[in-house]
Amino acid sequence: MNIIVGATGQIGSHLINDMKKYDVPIRAIVRNPERLQDKSIEFRKADLFDTDELRNAFEGGTTVFLLTPENQYSNDIIGDTERIVENYRKAIEQAGIETIIGLSSIGAHIDGDTGNIRMSRILEKGFDGLKARKIFVRPSYYFSNWLGYLNTIEQYGLLPTFFPEDLNIEMNSPMDVAKFIAKMMVEKDGFSKRDIYELSGPQRYSSSDVARIFSRVVHKPVIPEVITQDKWQETLLSAGFSENTAANLVDMTRAVIENTAIPERPDDIIRLPTTLEDYLVREKTT
């Protein structure tokens, strides 16, 4: 049985769809079953902070897909991650899970002030000593992070960005990431040579590149609007983030700009196929 945590999230929902194509047993773990689009699959309700619910959810599983929490309102997102990973560990031990596949991020090998990337490091380190096989997938910056600016782009022709407009960074499609993980879960023996897989798209992009691509997609001029570092916290707070989650995003952004959050094994990075333009066109038309 393949257990999928976060089945209603960005990666999890695509992963469910991709796994169904392989005709293998899957169980979705959800906090709110009403958000599960496909009611034909097996699911169990579990709050990741509730050890007993999580143990029940993992019962009978052989492979489990795990991720870190996403809660912009948290007042202690690092502490939340530590508690959830400890609950994962207890549930995995009790269920006798054989394979752990964790959604991490590029830069997780860095032990430092990396904000949200530190959550991925906590996930990777949280299962040391367990008998289960551990594989971690480290994607780069998601294309989907730019979609939150679509209204601003369409109305004003401006692309807000925290990055210097000419800073090239690794980016990838979340749908490509989900397909890669689905294949990994089904064909585990074909992924036996590594315990870390770093993923990115076919090329790196700058904010200027992103603006030019959006311009083609929305058929109007778009220019990047760089938000200076002294405005980062204020901007995130106005978008609804807590003081704590905003501070962690600031640290992560700084780590990217300072070239700290980089692949551990750049020569082995796996290039996924979808371009940013293809991704945006698809999202714009669906």
- pLDDT for res 194: 86
pLDDT of residue 33: 82
Query: Is the pLDDT score of 138 beyond 90?
Result: yes
**Is the model's pTM score more than 0.85?**
yes
Is pLDDT of 32 > 80? yes
What structural domains does the chain harbor? 2-143+171-200+259-272 (3.40.50.720)
**Mean pLDDT of all residues in 27-54:** 89
What mean pLDDT do residues 84-97 have? 96
Place of tokens 């169980």: 27
Whether pLDDT at 286 is above 80: no
Q: How many residues does the chain have?
A: 286
pLDDT band at 31 (very low <50, low <70, confident <90, very high): confident
27: left (phi > 0), else alpha (psi -120 to 50), else beta? beta
The mean per-residue pLDDT over the stretch 130-149 comes to 95
- With cut-offs at 50, 70 and 90, classify the pLDDT of residue 284: confident
**Whether 210 contacts 149, CB under 8 Å:** no
> Using CA atoms, how far apart are residues 129 and 141, in angstroms rounded to an integer?
30
What is the per-residue pLDDT across 178-219, written as a single tens digit (0 to 9) for each? 999 999 999 877 777 789 999 999 999 999 999 999 999 999
pLDDT at 50: 96
For residue 38, give the amino acid letter.
Answer: D
**Quick one: which of 256, 130, 124, 244 has its CA closest to 195?**
124
Sign, Cα dihedral of 190, 66, 105, 239: positive
More confident: 40 or 142: 142
DSSP state of 114: -
Mean pLDDT of the chain: 94
Query: How far is the C-alpha of 63 from the C-alpha of 3, rounded, in Å?
Result: 6
- 183, exposed or middle or buried, with CB in 10 Å at 0-12, 13-18, 19+? middle
- 40: confidence class by pLDDT, cuts 50, 70, 90: confident
Averaged pLDDT, 46-75: 95
| For range 217-236, the mean pLDDT | 96
CA-derived radius of gyration, the chain: 19
Phi, then psi, of 68 in degrees rounded to 5: -95, 160
DSSP 18: H
Residue 97 pLDDT exceeds 80: yes
pLDDT at residue 37 above 80? Answer: no
The residues near 251 (Cβ < 8 Å, ≥ 6 apart) are: 113, 114, 115, 116, 118
pLDDT (0 to 100) of residue 86: 97
